[in-house]
Amino acid sequence: MKEGKEEIELIKEGKRLDGRGFDELRPIKIEVGVLKRADGSCYFELGDNKVIAAVYGPREMHPRHAQDAKMAVVKFRYNMAPFSVDDRKRPGPDRRSVEISKVSREALDPVIMREYYPKTAIDVYVEILQSDAGTRTAGINAASIALADAGIPMKDLVSSVAVGKIDGEIVLDLNAIEDNHGEADMPVAMVARTNTITLLQMDGRLEREEFERGLKLAMGACHQIYELQRAALIDRYSESVDVGEGEA
Amino acid sequence: MYKVVVPGDFISEAASRAGEGTYVEDGKVYAMRYGIVDERGGIKVVPLSGKYVPAEGDVVIGRIAEISFPFWIVDIASPYEARLHMSEFADTRDEKIEFGSMSRFLDLDELIVAKVTNVDVVMRVDLALKEDFNLRSGGRLIEIPHTKVPRVIGRSGSMVKMLKEKCNCFIFIAKNGRIWVRGREDNMNLATEAILKIASESHTSGLTDRVADFLDSLKREKGRR
């Protein structure tokens, strides 16, 4: 990480390598209900990240001894497809994906009203089809929409984005090159309406002042993402149906 | 026009009118589910999707999933399975039901109409058989999400009444989203298509008229062939 820093110039003439400003998100594309057999699903694109989230449940919890008599159990699986990165990723769970699954579940947990479905399991599967840094945030955004789509009772949606430091500047939403050669990366997930942070991790070093500035930047971006998430869900049911259809 | 909300959407200041599918925080009503706001009476959010949770008094169509003396374990299209006690049958027969002979009365995969008599704190669901409905005499099962059931029934039964008239079928709609249709084969096909259309367009207005037109055009098409 540190060796590469000198070799690659990440900021040229006040712009990032992909032409973005410091506080600019990558393009986002959201599609709701893409999987027919899932109870809720969402396809989410964040720049070159392509992820799909599927929610099954509430359904019977197996194994039985892991049931909670008072509330539903949320299970979250983050998985990277072997073809999602340049060098083939060895399939199956590894240290990294187990950690991401855990923190993502905990990022969504505070909004899910689990007490409405005692003894059941809610399964959330996030598959990373293509990766370009920031997949956990894309996964959380997608999962939150898929949960709503599945009709799970929730207090709010969760929105997520990362901030980082490249060439000494605090920037929003790092891509893979910036992540690999930058000085810090900090994913944030939060409930936009209440400004409640549900996930905060940091890799690298930030000054206290930089941290605060970065967090503020991320929180602002979460509000932007929240609006997109909300719009994607609303739009799904606002398409007008032709009244004259079905005429022979 | 229907107003679609997502979880966390602010709906109203009138906390005292908050109903199903909403929650109250700091005296304000927010949506708890992804659905459509209904402000007639209280403030409700009618979900667009979600799993059926049995409640006492519901009439459901169940499928015998397992036999475990003295119960039949019944799948009721829900995260929770239900049980039907042997005595439900024993009272109406001269024969005594013995261990091992339960399948003679109701076998695996058989469909039943039952009423939910009790749901306890640990979500154990008890059923009582409704024998006035006999599904053995033929018909067809249609499954739709239980959230769409109110639309298939329509306001004070208008939709189902129209379906019955136009399709000339017996139609029974259970609370858990299972629908029993009985009639002539082509009429059942008609009813099936109409019900699936209602389920996929349940969020639109003027649905009853549109489905009526749809059925008329299907019939016309058939007559022409």
Mutate to test the interface with A, among B36, B51, B201 (most CBs of A within 10 A): B51
Separation in Å, CA A15 to CA A20, A161, A171, A217: 6, 20, 11, 17
pTM of the model: 0.91
Separation in Å, CA B167 to CA A124, A247, B161, B215: 41, 18, 10, 8
User: What is the length of chain A?
Assistant: 248
The nearest CA of chain A is from the CA of B1 a distance in Å of: 10
Residue in A with minimal Cα distance to B24: A155
Chain centroid to CA B162: how far? 18
pLDDT at A247 over 70: no
Q: Can you give the residue range of the structural domain that contains A94? A: 9-236
pLDDT classification of B1: cutoffs 50, 70, 90: low
Give CA–CA dist A114/A120, Å, rounded: 9
The nearest CA of chain A is from the CA of B149 a distance in Å of: 15
From the options 2.60.120.10, 2.40.50.100, 3.30.230.70, 3.40.50.300, give the CATH code of B4-47: 2.40.50.100
| pLDDT recorded at residue A6 | 54
pLDDT classification of A8: cutoffs 50, 70, 90: confident
Tokens describing residue B161: 């009444």
Q: Is A244 a member of any domain?
A: no
Can you list the pairs that B11-15 forms with residues at least 24 positions away whose Cβ atoms lie under 8 Å? B11/B37, B11/B43, B11/B45, B12/B39, B12/B43, B14/B43
Return the minimum-mean-pLDDT range out of A99-103, A143-147, B156-160. Answer: B156-160
Q: Which residues from chain B sit within 8 angstroms of residue A148, using beta carbons?
A: 6-7, 33-34
Q: Which residues from chain A sit within 8 angstroms of residue B18, using beta carbons?
A: none
CATH number at residue A142: 3.30.230.70
Question: Which CATH number describes the domain made up of B138-224?
Answer: 3.30.1370.10
Same topology between domain B4-47 and domain B59-135: yes
Residue A196: is it exposed, middle or buried by C-beta count within 10 angstroms (0-12/13-18/19+)? middle
Give CA–CA dist A145/A55, Å, rounded: 10
Strands B111-119 and B59-68: antiparallel
More confident residue, A84 or B219: A84
The nearest CA of chain B is from the CA of A77 a distance in Å of: 20
pLDDT at A2 over 80: no
Q: Across all residues in chain A, what is the average pLDDT?
A: 93
Strand partners, B28: B25
| pLDDT recorded at residue B59 | 96
| pLDDT recorded at residue B3 | 87
For A157-185, what is each residue's pLDDT tens digit? 999 999 999 999 999 999 999 999 999 99
User: What is the length of chain B?
Assistant: 225
The nearest CA of chain A is from the CA of B9 a distance in Å of: 8
| pLDDT recorded at residue A194 | 96
Rounded to two decimals, the ipTM of the complex is 0.89
| pLDDT recorded at residue B90 | 64
Tally of domains within chain A: 1
pLDDT at A228 over 50: yes
Whether residue A241 and residue B49 make contact (CB cut-off 8 A), yes or no, is: no
Q: Is A144 a member of any domain?
A: yes
Q: Region A147-151: what's the mean pLDDT?
A: 97
In percent, how much of chain A has pLDDT > 70? 93
More confident residue, A66 or B131: A66
pLDDT classification of A5: cutoffs 50, 70, 90: very low
For A32-64, what is each residue's pLDDT tens digit? 999 999 999 999 999 999 999 999 989 999 999
Give CA–CA dist A43/A54, Å, rounded: 9
Q: Please state which CATH class domain B59-135 belongs to.
A: mainly beta
Chain B positions contacting chain A at CB under 8 Å are: 2, 4, 6-9, 21, 23, 25, 30, 32-36, 47-51, 53, 79-81, 122-123, 147, 201, 203-204, 206, 210, 213-214, 217-218, 220-221, 224
For B43-62, what is each residue's pLDDT tens digit? 999 999 999 999 999 999 99
| pLDDT recorded at residue B136 | 84
pLDDT at A131 over 70: yes
Q: Using alpha carbons only, what angle is made at residue B10 by residues A218 and B38, rounded to the nearest 5 degrees? A: 140
